[in-house]
Structure 1
Amino acid sequence: MKRKVKRHIFKARRIIYQETLVDFQEHFWTFIGAFLGIAVIGWLNSNLAPIDNLFLIGSFGASSVLIYGIINSPLAQPRNLIGGHVICAFTGVLVHKIVPGDVWFTSALSVALSIVFMQMTKTLHPPGGATALIANIGSEKIQALGFWYVLSPVLSGVLILFFVALLCNNATPHRSYPKNKHWYKVWKRKYLKQKV
């Protein structure tokens, strides 16, 4: 019995270890994607500062880990990336505007509501919680944006990350993003065949 348990533990360790092995090409494209995505947003943030725009927020770093590093995760898919951030940004700003009170209360309420709304809409994206939190604890510049926070920096930044992910994650044949391309097949069948 003891021997059988040891054998199963050995197999489990080996399977888990092999699942974490990633080849050099994966590392390369993950680096390129994350670097380009954050670099474009950072460049916009630093060069468009005179017109008082803000583009770079902390939750984009966490989103980059998902959409460039674990591209097959359900949490990294476009619906989750875009929908999760937008829902959380809107929820965070709404709670900040409507509920007067201490920062600890509005922060906790906005994150908790954001998670529930993401679950209800099937757009769960963990960095979205940080997006809602930033709407409450961010700098005066972020809080002064009000509902514009949803469009810029959140939606504009997420779309930049998404388009960079489309380019970098589909650059090689063994990487494919988004994972489910069913929407493209439906669109192709419906619209492209009508033109022919």
Structure 2
Amino acid sequence: MINISKPILQKALIAGFFSAFTIGVLTVLTYKSTLGYFIAGSFGSSMVLLFGFPESPFAQPKNVFFGHLVTALVGVIFVHFIPLPIYINIAAAVGIGVFLMILLNVVHPPAGGNPIMVIIGSASYDYLINPIIFGCIIILLLAIIVNKYLLKKNYPLK
């Protein structure tokens, strides 16, 4: 028998619910509107931090937004300007993305997957606007509303 404490169960249920809600909003915008793509695979793992561990430095808005933007931009640059085999481009782009997130103090671990998706999908610069910029704005707005106003947490940290 698994012994799960009530606080852990409550935290897991809240995080799961609001993660599903947020990804649901992005999915509806992507597939039921003509506004473009709002969802990226790396946003799924962002939900773990935003709703499960919002007190983490990695879950703070600056890190979420710029971590995703920097790593997606690295991927796009590799797609369009670095004519190496894909297995070299993916590895190098992830490494450079991680390097830049740490250097710029905008570390958001889920964003480390962006160069992989961008390179495999041969994404254009438009990918930076939709889904990355607009998708991040939406997930951050929902995270702030949920964490700060509904759950009364200190989010974002000051």
* Counterpart pick for 1:176 among 149, 154, 158: 154
Determine if the alignment matches structure 1 residue 167 to structure 2 residue 152.
no
> Greater CA radius of gyration, 1 or 2?
1
Aligned residues: 155
Residues in 1 aligned to 2:114 and 2:9: alpha-carbon distance in whole angstroms: 32
Match of 2:12 in 1: 27
**2-side partners of 1:134 and 1:22: how far apart?**
35
Match of 2:125 among 122, 127, 147: 147
Contact 1:36 1:164 in 2 (8 A): no
CA distance, structure 2, for counterparts of residue 102 and residue 22 of structure 1: 48
Name the SS for the 1:53 alignment partner: coil
Partners of 1:92 and 1:79 in 2: how far apart? Answer: 20
Pair 52,79 (structure 1): closer, same or farther in 2 beyond 3 Å: closer
Flag the structure with higher helix content. 1
Gaps of 5+ in 1: 1-19, 181-196
Please state how far the C-alpha of 1:29 moved relative to its aligned partner: 3.0
The whole-number CA distance in structure 2 between the counterparts of 1:22 and 1:104 is 44
Query: Can you list the C-alpha shifts for 1:148-188, whole angstroms capped at 9, x where unaligned?
Result: 11111111111111011011112133x221122xxxxxxxx
- C-alpha separation in 2, matches of 1:26 and 1:58: 23
What do you get for the CA RMSD once the two structures are aligned? Answer: 2.2
In structure 1, distance between residues paired with 2:93 and 2:7:
37
Q: Does 1:132 align with 2:110?
A: no
Aligned in 2, Cα 1:21/1:101: closer, same or farther, shift over 3 Å? Answer: farther
Q: Give 2:72's match in structure 1, choosing from 83, 89, 104.
A: 89
Q: Percent identity?
A: 27
Partner of 1:73: 56
Q: Which residue of 2 aligns with 1:183?
A: none
- Measured in 2, the distance between the counterparts of 1:34 and 1:118 equals 24
Normalising by structure 1, we get a TM-score of 0.72
